[in-house]
Each structure stands twice: as structure tokens, then as C-alpha cells.
Amino acid sequence: MSQAALLKPAFTDTVHDAQQVFRRALSALSEPGLVQRVEGAPAMDRLSPATYALCLCLLDGDTPVWLSPALDTPELLANLVFHCGCPIVSAPEQAAFALLAGNEPIELSPFNPGTDRDPDLSCTVLLQLDDLDGGQTTTWQGPGINGTRAMRLPLPEAFWSQRAAHGFPKGLDFFITAADSFVGVPRSTRVIHVMQEVF
């Protein structure tokens, strides 16, 4: 009974809401760094509306999910299992999707980057931040970006170097979210640190 009492409604119009979020997720990965918004999605416990909407859209019975300790609450667990039917794994190596929060140390090495033969088996990371702006300037290049794009995600340099540890086509794809917005960072995007000029 106590487990059941944690459940909350998800999308109001399951099919159309999920389709719209999926379209935005495609756009996010095809134009890395372009901010996408989800409208009318509910928040869930510690998950922001954008993170929860991506979860409801992308997770199902075939996608083992790993939750970082900061997000691993009974309420979130009950609702993900009920609405998505996704198995929750305790080993990050087995995860097809990982849910991380930006306010805790981020360790990307355990996640599966796929293999050279099957790069599609890699883990997709949903990383939730407080804001998509306000960090050090980074320059993004790659498919879907006309020239370069300057981004100021509040992430440490160590995060970007961990992300670049795998040789293409292996690698991790990211959705980085804050409140009702998110950006996509596919493995094909090169992120270059701009040295801050010291005056």
C-alpha cells in the first residue's frame, strides 16, 4: 500500500506528449547545443520536468536504468517502474540509460561506451543540472553545428576530458537538462576548452 501511494500521474496525453518529447530529443541530438524545451510535463520528486519527460519518452522494458545515489528515492523508483516498466540495475556497466545529477561527483568511466562493432549498445546519460548557462565557455564543433557554437554549461573540465576518453565510434551520448530545457551532446560533438584570457 505504501509503495502504491507514491504513484503520481505522468503525461496527460501519453501518446502525443511522448511523441513531442521524442521529436525534441531527435532535434537536440541533430543540432547539438540548441536548447529544446518541453511544455506541460510534470516534475517528479528530484527530477526536473525535462529529465522526467525524457525518461517517460525513452525508457521502457528493454532499457536497464541506473540511478545515481542522489536521485535514488523510493518515489522516483516506484514511478519509473510503474510508468516506464524499466528494469533498475545496480551496476552502471549494465545500464542502457543513466540518470545523473550535476550536484554530485560525476564518474563516467563505468558506463558502457559500446564496441567498435556495436557502438549502438552504448549507454545514454541523462545529466540534470541547475542551469544550462553560467559555466566556463566551451567551443563545440561537429555534425549538426554550422562552424562552431559557444556553450557555457556549468560543468568542470574533468567532465569533458572523461567524455572524450573513448575513440569514435565508441562513446556516450548525453542529454543535459535543467528545469524544462535540455540540450543534446552526441558522441560526435567535439568540445574544446577556450583558455580564459587573464588581464
Partner 1 sequence: MTHSVSEGAGDALLARRQQWMKVLAGAGSRLTEYSDDLRRTEHRFIRPAEVGMVMVRGRTGACGTPFNLGEMTVTRCVVQLVDGRHGHGYVAGRSTLHAELAALADAHLQGDRHGHWMTSLIEPLQREQEARRAAKEAASAATKVEFVTMVRGEDE
Contacts with partner 1 by CB under 8 A lie at 1, 4-5, 7-10, 12, 14, 82-83
> CB of residue 20 vs partner 1: minimum separation in angstroms?
17
101 bridge partner residues: 128
Question: Quick one: which of 115, 151, 139 has its CA closest to 35?
Answer: 151
Q: 85 or 156, CB closer to partner 1? A: 85
The minimum distance between CB 46 and partner 1, in angstroms, equals 20
**Contact status, residue 175 vs residue 125, Cβ threshold 8 Å:** yes
Report how far residue 82's alpha carbon sits from residue 84's, in angstroms, rounded to the nearest whole number.
6
Least distance from partner 1 to the Cβ atom of residue 148, Å: 45
Rounded to whole angstroms, how far apart are CA atoms 5 and 75?
Answer: 9
The total number of residues written for the chain in this structure: 199
Determine how β-strand 36-37 pairs with β-strand 181-185: antiparallel
**Closest distance to partner 1 from the beta carbon of 1 (Å):** 7
Q: Which one, 12 or 161, has the nearer CB to partner 1? A: 12
Residue 164, number of CB atoms within 10 A of its CB: 13
Q: Would you give the DSSP letter of residue 167?
A: P
H or E stretch at 171: none
Residue among 59 and 108 whose Cβ is closer to partner 1: 59
Residue closer to partner 1, measured from CB, 4 or 91: 4
The least CB distance from residue 56 to partner 1, in Å, is 12
Question: Looking at beta carbons only, is 86 or 151 nearer to partner 1?
Answer: 86
Of 107, 105, 123, the C-alpha closest to 115 is 123
- Return the number of other C-beta atoms located less than 10 Å from residue 60's C-beta: 11
Shortest Å distance, C-beta 15 to partner 1: 8
9 versus 105: smaller Cβ distance to partner 1? 9
